[in-house]
Chains A and B, each alone.
Chain A
Amino acid sequence: MPIAPRLRLGDVHPGDPLPDLAYDVTATTVVLGALATRDWRPMHHDQDFAQQRNGVRDIFLNTPNQAAWFERYLTDWTGPHGRLARMRFRMNDSVFPGDRMLFRARVEKVAQDANGCGWVEVAVTLSVGERLCTECQARIALPADAAHNPWKLEGNRWRP
């Protein structure tokens, strides 16, 4: 039996919140993320370097690992049929060991294109306490119905 989409376009409406994700960051989280993204720069594993050269309090999550966190957060919601098309994020502050990351999001737009593909635009925030660390805008393709699979779209039928 085919795997049914977890989320379809008709399930989503502007203003809908996504489920929150909270995660306690440790030094291991930061170093694991840096290594998983092949980022060997010392501010992501060397506390002395981060403090003395970057002027921050500790090692901090790197950019591509934050992208991986946003992807995970968004596809936890959509399920595997959700196809990420575009992500734009802006880092206002860093995420350090000892921080509790809180991912929150809300659906901003819902649409369907001429190829029958469903599109949702989502605004995501990554906060630590009162600090808004990163803001992310994402565009994701969703199945419009049980027969549609955004992953099958190629060439100019895929409109990210």
Chain B
Amino acid sequence: MSEELGELPEAVKAWIGQRLYQQVGEFDVERGYVLTSCASVENGNPLFWDEKAASEITGGWIAPPSMLSVWFRPHHWAPQRSGASQPLQIHFDLKQALDLPEAIMTENTIVFHQPVRPGDRLETCQVLRSISPPKRTKLGLGRFWVIDVEYLNQHGKPVGTESYTGFGYRRAV
């Protein structure tokens, strides 16, 4: 089976463990997007809708913890940007480098630290942790990989970490 995908390139192996794509978010955390997110899942938690509850319980407005990755997803278009900008860029780098045209996420772990608040400007970096040998699933032949994403606020305090397991593959014929 490994012959069908070839060996893992040395250049790709070298990415493992490196802190890559360190970046500051394109925009501040903002409450309008918090409400858009809550509306999408009908989340009526008063922390996001009731200023008294937010003030008393969390010391002011916060963003839903599960929105961590939202603050780094680039605009679909921006002036002076050449080419598409992708969130979780290592995932797309792996697809291209390993010639695996399709990919899905299969597992996600999120650990939440300090609350994220409107006005925060977060920073992030991506770390590729591992790449599996070739695997065949019902979707096709490919490889699994694990990517960690670390998030800090503008004070350098950790606000969360995410770990994604992705599967890049060639579709079963």
* Interface residue ranges, A against B (CB under 8 Å): 2-3, 23, 29, 32-33, 35-40, 53-55, 63-65, 67-72, 75-76, 80-81, 83-91, 149, 151, 154, 158, 160
Interface size, chain B (Cβ < 8 Å): 45
For the complex of A and B, list the 10 residue pairs with the smallest distance between their C-beta atoms, beginning with the closest. Answer: A38-B73, A36-B40, A72-B43, A67-B66, A88-B109, A71-B66, A32-B40, A72-B41, A36-B37, A90-B107
Cβ–Cβ < 8 Å partners of B106 in chain A: 90-91
Contact partner, B112, options A53, A88, A160, Cβ 8 Å: A160
Q: Which of A40, A64, A151 contacts B66 (CB 8 A)?
A: A64
Among residues of B, the one whose C-beta sits closest to the C-beta of A73 is B41
- Whether A68 lies near B67 (C-beta < 8 A) is yes
Given the interface pairs A81-B57, A149-B57, the reply to whether A38 lies near B108 with Cβ below 8 Å is no
Give complex CA distance A103, B69 in Å.
Answer: 23
Interface assignment of B7: CB less than 8 Å from any CB of chain A: no
B102 close to A37 (CB less than 8 A) = no
B41 A37 Cβ-Cβ under 8 A: no
Partner of B43, one of A54, A75, A149: A75
> Is B53 an interface position by the 8 A CB rule?
yes
**Among B40, B52, B58, B69, contact of A33 (Cβ-Cβ < 8 Å):** B40
A71 to B68, CA, bound (A): 12
Interface, chain B (partner A; CB < 8 A): 33, 36-47, 52-53, 56-59, 64-67, 69-70, 73-74, 76, 87, 102, 104-115, 139, 164, 171
Contact partners of A84 in chain B: CB under 8 A:
65-66, 112
Q: Are A154 and B41 within 8 A (Cβ)?
A: no
Q: A37-B69, A37-B73 are in contact. Are A89 and B107 (CB under 8 A)?
A: yes
* Interchain CB contact (< 8 A) of B70 among A38, A70, A71: A38
Offer 30 A-B interface pairs, CB within 8 angstroms, sorted by A.
A3-B53, A23-B42, A32-B40, A33-B41, A37-B69, A38-B73, A39-B73, A40-B76, A53-B102, A63-B105, A63-B164, A64-B67, A67-B66, A67-B110, A68-B37, A71-B43, A71-B64, A71-B66, A80-B53, A80-B57, A80-B58, A84-B65, A86-B112, A87-B110, A88-B108, A90-B106, A151-B59, A160-B111, A160-B112, A160-B113
With A68-B41, A151-B59 known to touch, is A36 a contact of B36 (CB < 8 Å)?
Answer: yes
Q: Which residue of B lies closest to A90 (CB)?
A: B107
What separation, in Å, do the CA atoms of A63 and B149 have in the docked complex?
A: 15
Given contact pairs A71-B43, A90-B107, a sample of 5 additional A-B residue pairs in the complex whose CB atoms are under 8 Å apart: A36-B41, A55-B102, A63-B105, A80-B47, A160-B113
